[in-house]
Structure 1
């Protein structure tokens, strides 16, 4: 097959994947995860039902793909590289977590914890990418003259702790929204860290 023909097939595959994700994201928000089937998604997307597992393996794989795309939309890898204040990064995070689909990342968490297969691996990679983004942000702010190996270890540990705080705040906001302000809580942590960040490398 010519390179032009292969490129066209790839373009068709990318378009099918995008349409499936668009339909799934809409339906998950409208009906919830449990009441959305592959048949529903196929009808909404105009893509055959059989194409969905071909792209995403199973429903949990599709859920993770929806979550990851939503994260990338507001908190892309490039966003971390611009080295904005953490308060700005957390504004992005608050906007993301306030969307109707933000709870999806918790719907498959029990299976990710119990299982040893694809869902656990997808979730592990998802959390890893979030930690990597935060570590990249920290590395870009690293002061001159510190030991690179020691600094990298501290940045990884701090990124894991910061990601854990973000996940915990998100969960509290989902469960108890009436008495918990997501944006204020994220900004409180961000302001505290921005003011004391230099101590990380001391």
Structure 2
């Protein structure tokens, strides 16, 4: 049986994780302080290291939570090939509009730095996204010259690129229109019988 103290601790941890994810997405990891997280979450600054040990521990916990949210959101499988194409298109739109997508794009540069503590988590995130896309694409009658694996890499790369451009120039890039264009390109690669 969970005690009230354990319940309060879990709730505080979740509030901290949500606030940190939002701030890391908005400001980046380096520019976010414990004071920022405490103010946004409404939880005392001293509670953050108690829960996570330090800023790196907080970052890793935020990424782990985000990967788990993606996995939960990507588990549904289509019932037929026709439904599979429609669900793939819906899934692409959902995937690239998740709040976590902005976080992943914002932190990408930090993940690429030598010795980065989040490099391994980013590999896991990209593997999860590619695997999800590949599983959906394998249900479709793709032309023989187009592998599901290669198309999955292309879709994930395009989604990340769209978000990068949008973060840099939100007044010039419409992510919804760009994602619709990506979906149209994928639809053009699938023979009509598969839709």
User: Would you say same fold, with TM above 0.5?
Assistant: yes
Match of 2:27 among 12, 28, 32: 32
Q: Does residue 175 of the first structure (1) align with residue 160 of the second (2)? A: no
Partner residue of 1:88?
A: 90
Q: Does residue 108 of the first structure (1) align with residue 104 of the second (2)? A: no
Question: Conserved in 2, the CA contact under 8 Å of 1:112 and 1:123?
Answer: yes
Root-mean-square deviation over aligned CA pairs: 3.9
Query: In 2 relative to 1, CA 59–21 (structure 1 residues): closer, same or farther, beyond 3 Å?
Result: closer
1:127 to partner: Cα distance: 0.7
Match of 1:72 among 70, 75, 90: 70
Query: In 2 relative to 1, CA 13–186 (structure 1 residues): closer, same or farther, beyond 3 Å?
Result: same
Tell me, in whole angstroms, the C-alpha distance in 2 between the residues paired with 1:40 and 1:112: 22
1:121 to partner: Cα distance: 0.5
1:197 to partner: Cα distance: 1.9
Q: Does residue 121 of the first structure (1) align with residue 120 of the second (2)? A: yes
Count of residues in Structure 1 that have an aligned counterpart in Structure 2: 182
Report the 3-state secondary structure (helix = DSSP H, G, I; strand = E; otherwise coil) of the residue aligned with 1:135: helix
Tell me, in whole angstroms, the C-alpha distance in 2 between the residues paired with 1:78 and 1:52: 29
Tell me, in whole angstroms, the C-alpha distance in 1 between the residues paired with 2:19 and 2:124: 24
Match of 2:180 among 187, 191, 198: 187
User: Which ranges in structure 1 are unaligned for 5 or more consecutive residues?
Assistant: none
Q: Deviations over 1:91-148 (max 9, x none)?
A: 313532xx5x6533233323322224531101111111100110111123358xx9xx
